[in-house]
Amino acid sequence: MTLPATAKQLDVLRLIHRTIQRRGSPPTHRELSKALGYRAQNTAVCHIRALERKGLITVPHRAHRARIITSAGRAALGLPVSVLLPSRCGRCQTEPFDASPPCFGCREVSS
């Protein structure tokens, strides 16, 4: 059994969600560190890794900025778990689950 996310980890998760909603892509490590008042980027990286270990986000292999909030992450934020995915991505014109790794327009939200 995994431990629940800490308050700081939930702050990181909220910031990731807000940034994705606002601009369509997750924040960089530098942006996370600056927004949360951390002096070292490694602090943000550690929180991201902890969120990934707890199953609240996924980071596709070799796509460090492509953080995807899972169903468990959406539930932790108090958001609806089931969401409608677009039929096609506006950028790559692929089907939502044909993109590998999923592009930012076609986020996979279920775990």
Instruction: Judge whether 68 lies within some domain.
Output: yes
Instruction: Judge whether 97 lies within some domain.
Output: no
Q: What is the mean pLDDT of each run of 10 residues along the chain (111 residues)?
A: 83 92 88 92 92 89 77 86 53 46 47 37
pLDDT at 11: 93
Instruction: Judge whether 89 lies within some domain.
Output: no
pLDDT at 70: 86
Instruction: Judge whether 98 lies within some domain.
Output: no
Instruction: Judge whether 43 lies within some domain.
Output: yes
Domain containing 77: what range? 7-81
Q: Give the Cα separation of 103 and 45 in Å (integer).
A: 21
pLDDT at 1: 52
| CA of residue 54 relative to chain centroid, distance | 13
pLDDT at 83: 54
Instruction: Judge whether 91 lies within some domain.
Output: no
Which residues, listed in sequence order, are joined to residue 58 by a DSSP beta bridge? 68
Q: What is the pLDDT of residues 4-15, one digit of tens each?
A: 889 999 999 999
Instruction: Judge whether 44 lies within some domain.
Output: yes
Instruction: Judge whether 95 lies within some domain.
Output: no
The b-or-e profile of 18-42 (16+ CB within 10 A means b, else e) is: ebbeeeeebbebeebbeeeebeeee
pLDDT at 2: 64
pLDDT at 33: 93
Total structural domains within the chain: 1
The enclosing domain of 51 has a CATH number of 1.10.10.10
